[in-house]
Amino acid sequence: MKTYTTVQGDMWDSIAFRQMGSTDYTDRLMNLNPAYRNYYTFPAGVVLTLPEPVYKISEKLPPWKQVKK
């Protein structure tokens, strides 16, 4: 399980974007770290658990090209 230690000024959506590549992970990130849900802007030093990435595979590709990246 991966973790991230916040720096002063981090916000949920910016952490999701920088660490996982998309703000779509914001809800999952918050759900994994319920003790910090009241934070809007983080102080430095809070250790958060990061969600596992979700891989989307296009159904339009032929089976041999449907590979998780």
State the Cα–Cα distance between residues 6 and 53, nearest whole angstrom. Answer: 19
Compare 42 and 69 and report the one with higher pLDDT: 42
Q: Please, are residues 16 and 29 in contact by the beta-carbon 8 Å criterion?
A: yes
The single-letter code of the amino acid at 56 is K
Tens digit of each residue's pLDDT (9 = 90 or more) over 8-61: 999 999 999 999 999 999 999 999 999 999 999 999 999 999 998 776 666 676
Q: What is d(CA 42, CA 40) in angstroms, rounded to the nearest whole number?
A: 6
Q: Does residue 7 register a pLDDT over 60?
A: yes
- Tokens 């916040």, located at residue: 6
pTM of the model: 0.76
Closest C-alpha among 53, 17, 47, 16 to residue 33: 47
Coil, strand, or helix at residue 34?
A: helix
